[in-house]
Amino acid sequence: MGKRHLIIVFLLLYVAFSMRLVGAQEPVQAYPLRIVVSTTSDWTRLTLFNVSFIRLNYSVVSGVNASQLRCSIFFNAISISKGKQDASNVTIVIDALAQVEDRNLSLLIEKGDLGETVLKIYGVEDGELRLGEVLTNSGSVQGDPRNPRRFNLTGVFRGFKAVETSIPGRKIVEPVLLAFYYPWYGNPQGGSGVWSHWEGVGYREIGSSTHYPLFGPYDSQDENLIRVHIRLAKAFGVDGFVCSWWGIDSFEDIALRKIVRVANEENFNVTIYYESVRDISKEQIVNELSYVLRRYSGAPSFLKINGSPIIFIYSVSAYDRDPSFWGSVMEEVWFETGINATFIADTFDTSYLRVFDGLHTYNPIWVEDFNSTYVGEAKSVRLFGKIWVATVSPGYDDRKIRVPGSYVDRRDGAYYEETWRGALASDPDMILICTWNEWHEGSEIKPSREYGFRYLGLTGGFAEFFKETEIEASPNPLISLEGTTVDSNILLNIINSGSGDAAAVSVIVSHEEIAVKQVSNLIRLPINESSTCFFIPLLESEQDVSISLPFGSNEAKVIVLTYFSLNGDAFTIRKEIFSAASHGDQSFKMIFIVFLILGFISILLLFLRKRFPAK
């Protein structure tokens, strides 16, 4: 990282630090409100600008039996949806504390083409309600299916009385930095023995991957690969992985068994990201969550808060699963296991805080203003006494796997810094990185050919600030390359005599012919007809690896070996090695040349004797 870039990062950290201190220590002024929303449209959404709910409770007082009814309450928005063309009335009552800014207070009401949406805002003073405003959006706007109507709220709050309240700080004393981790990659030459999630694999490009991993098309069930992932994560301040999990005995579950085992040895945290976007029954969800808790939560590495194992659940609202559904699931899981787990939901809908222990969002690319969104959501979550988890991301690009796909430019690290600033400003209990290795969607921070260790470097800087600690640099590896020959085979011996680990070791061998059979237990890829690359995920200090190369050619083999320290420093070795056959040929040629020279000298001497006979 250049000096100029470091200065920018530290300035951003200073700004975030200042905001964090103010938000954590000062009380806030808030308005007690009662808000009544009635709609006869099949959907409506009300969005507040510069007004945010920091505490709320709501109830449906009319239309509770409307078809496919869904009510969602966010820190600055209210959403109601019903079955298509359902014109029945739904009314919800919200009791809230609202924090307002001194400028541009407004409300946007959107709805379907049916019916109308009416909002009534009451101030609450000494237990008495005082009507402040009635706002209505009826009819439709030609050419715009959202039928938007905007209202100015500046005058509404002037007649209301604010009260002083305080926002609780972190629920978790020691901040935690986690990364979403995908253990679903397989390679027939690796631990799983099958292709999984890698498609169109070549040395220069992988068809299903936005960027190219420095580790090559690796296998998630390779324990060496898991170990180096964990050590790299720790080297840059990451405390644990939230592992995508798709069911009992799935590919990801088999990988998780190995991840937990290695994490136990490496003093690293692991939990699951329960993938709920599947058409599965409530019974299956209960069985799967119970299985995870029984099988894994007792491991030293399984992520816990005060002894309670933590599980993150993706997209909790999928398949119309409302808070009561998940509340019932959690009750049954506790009954099945007797384990008091902590469940954190992927949603900003605060109505789920009735049953969940905290909120997060998986992918934050939908967020327009990270500071205001995260700070607002954090206040709402904290006033429920729950855990607030902010998500950061380096960017996004899924255009290789989806059409047309979505793209968020990394902007040379600026987008990542922007998400970190917003996260830090909200003083979260935990920060989630989206992602460590989601190669399909181009959101990885793991080293790639395109970006090297750049995003791990940025992560380390922010991690030091977030956790108020200094990360020690890892010692450097020192690799040497030796070649011995046996018949026509070359045995490469790669030795790390340094005090640090070598990561993402790649060995490129030039040749004219190489046996088609597997020549080692390493993943390898042909580069072209005359060279092959071998991938070694981890070479620990004082460890060596041998590669046997049965070449049929008698030419010299050029070896180019590249490796990295856990700090991201790159090293390259280039060496020429001759096969045994090649050495034999060279010796024969030398002997032949010597005989030719001796023969020539003999003929020359004979000629001279005849030409100039002795007297």
In the chain, what are the domain boundaries? 28-165, 176-466, 479-579
**Predicted confidence band at 612 (pLDDT cuts at 50, 70, 90)?**
low
List the beta strands (DSSP E) in 77-203. Answer: 77-81, 90-100, 106-111, 116-125, 128-138, 149-152, 163-165, 176-181
Each residue of 309-331: pLDDT tens digit? 999 999 999 999 999 999 999 99
Question: In angstroms, how far is CA 226 from the centroid of its own chain?
Answer: 15
What is 201-234 written as a DSSP string? B-SS-BTT-SS-BTT-S--TT-HHHHHHHHHHHH
Q: Is it true that 176-466 and 479-579 share their CATH fold? A: no
Q: What is the mean pLDDT of residues 47-64?
A: 90
Output the pLDDT for position 552: 54
Is 589's pLDDT higher than 90?
A: no
Output the pLDDT for position 374: 96
> Which percentage of the chain shows pLDDT scores above 70?
87
Is 586's pLDDT higher than 90?
A: no
Output the pLDDT for position 21: 41
Return the bridge partners of 110, or none. 45
Model's pTM, two decimal places?
0.86
**Predicted confidence band at 518 (pLDDT cuts at 50, 70, 90)?**
very low
**Is pLDDT larger for residue 111 or for residue 602?**
111
Output the pLDDT for position 603: 74
Residue 413, CA distances (Å) to 45, 326, 418, 454 in order: 34, 37, 9, 8
Q: What is the mean pLDDT of residues 338-346?
A: 98
479-579 to CATH, choices 3.10.180.10, 3.40.710.10, 3.30.70.3040, 2.60.40.1250? 2.60.40.1250
Q: What is the mean pLDDT of residues 383-407?
A: 96
> CB neighbours (10 Å) of residue 562?
18
Per CATH, which fold does 176-466 belong to? TIM Barrel (3.20.20)
Instruction: Please count the CA atoms within 13 angstroms of the CA of 343 that sit on its side-chain side.
Output: 27
Q: What is the mean pLDDT of residues 13-21?
A: 46
Which amino acid would we find at residue 450? E
**Predicted confidence band at 562 (pLDDT cuts at 50, 70, 90)?**
very high
Element (H, E) at 507: strand 502-510
Is 104's pLDDT higher than 50?
A: yes
Output the pLDDT for position 577: 75
Output the pLDDT for position 103: 74
Output the pLDDT for position 18: 43
Is 356's pLDDT higher than 50?
A: yes
Give the Cα separation of 537 and 357 in Å (integer).
37
Output the pLDDT for position 591: 60
Is 506's pLDDT higher than 60?
A: yes
Each residue of 429-485: pLDDT tens digit? 999 999 999 999 999 999 999 999 999 999 999 999 999 999 999 999 999 998 877
Output the pLDDT for position 526: 93
Each residue of 362-387: pLDDT tens digit? 999 999 999 999 999 999 999 889 99
Is 488's pLDDT higher than 50?
A: yes
What phi and psi values does residue 614 have, to the nearest 5 degrees? -70, 140
Q: Comparing C-alpha atoms, which of 199, 203, 221 is closest to residue 212?
A: 203
Q: What is the mean pLDDT of residues 96-123?
A: 92
**Predicted confidence band at 489 (pLDDT cuts at 50, 70, 90)?**
confident
Output the pLDDT for position 387: 96
Give the Cα separation of 259 and 223 in Å (integer).
7
DSSP helix/strand/coil, 44: strand
Looking at mean pLDDT, say which of 88-102, 175-189, 473-487 comes out highest: 175-189
Output the pLDDT for position 166: 82
